[in-house]
Amino acid sequence: MSKVYLDGEYVEEKDAKVSVFDHGLLYGDGIFEGIRAYDGYVFKLDEHLDRLYRSARAINLEIPFTEEEFEEKILETLRVNDLKEAYIRPLVTRGKGSLGIDTASCKEPSVIIIVKEWEALYGPELYEKGLTMLTTSIRNQPIDGLPPTVKHLNYLTNVLAFMQADVWGADEALMLDTHGNVSEGSADNIFIYRKGIVHTPPVTNNLPGITRATIVDLLGELGYPLKEDHFGLGEVMTADEVMLCGTAAEVAPVVEIDGRKIDDGKPGPLCLEVKEKFGEVTGKPETGVAI
């Protein structure tokens, strides 16, 4: 069992508990990150911390440490747990308050860092044969509402989207935005490859994924033209390849959406190339912070 960092202390997993008056629980009032460590290096830790602090600003939450201090706490939590390969889940909640929604009653944010041994999201066979998706009826959060660009604790949209896909036997949900544009998966960003050009939606209607940004760089290095533009289901259904990416999923080919095959229904060469290249950049001092 792992030890969890909870407001300045390391506590056994079974004893890591928060108050029922925490606004993170009462209202989903908080933010989080999902990070991975490979081979002793925390992949893109600075980028994840940057996103965490931007998310905090977006909800007017003051994290009680500097980014450098937070980084050190993450590394220390990994050391305390003697982990070199791990999934890391830092979260900051608004903290204990009254039952009303007014944040003024919350005097101190709660900082939690969970680190766990990595369990693969999808089995290796799924990467070989490719994933299936279902276009969910649950639209992503509108950009003039709770922004999909902020990693806050209100993940019910994503939970319901995934649940719907799962009920219908698909591996992941494809979410559209309220205008019908493709936005992202329930926990990953999407790329399509169509007529020699890679497309991905701009980060207005989806989370600015750290894996997404890494893949944008890798595609540049591999010489693929990329357009960040909005597109609809029609473009996805007529794409030559569809690819998902995220901290948990890494890089995954999508071979079927809503019961319709993408091209020949097999993982395509672009996705396999990107997946291989991604595997080469993780677990390296150039892309991570040493534990």
Residue 28 in contact with ligand PXG, rule: CB under 6 A = no
Residue 172 in contact with ligand PXG, rule: CB under 6 A = no
Of 5-13, 104-112, 185-193, 273-281, the segment contacting ligand PXG by CB under 6 A is 185-193
Residue 205 in contact with ligand PXG, rule: CB under 6 A = no
Q: State the minimum distance, in angstroms, from the CB of residue 104 to ligand PXG.
A: 29
Residue 184 in contact with ligand PXG, rule: CB under 6 A = yes
Between 71 and 263, CB nearer to ligand PXG: 71
CA distance 138 to 161: 6
Residue 210 in contact with ligand PXG, rule: CB under 6 A = yes
- Cα separation of the two ends of the chain: 20
Between 16 and 121, CB nearer to ligand PXG: 121
The reply to whether 151 belongs to the active site is: yes
Q: Which two tokens stand for residue 25?
A: 């629980």
Q: Where are the beta strands (DSSP E) in the chain?
A: 3-6, 9-12, 30-32, 35-38, 41-43, 86-93, 110-117, 131-135, 172-176, 182-185, 189-194, 197-200, 226-228, 241-246, 250-257, 260-261, 288-290
Report phi then psi at 68, rounded to 5: -65, -40
Of the listed 14, 151, 261, 277, which one is catalytic? 151
CA distance 11 to 194: 50
Options 94, 96, 199, 212; binder of ligand PXG; rule CB under 6 A: 212
Between 177 and 184, CB nearer to ligand PXG: 184
Residue 209 in contact with ligand PXG, rule: CB under 6 A = yes
Active site residues: 151
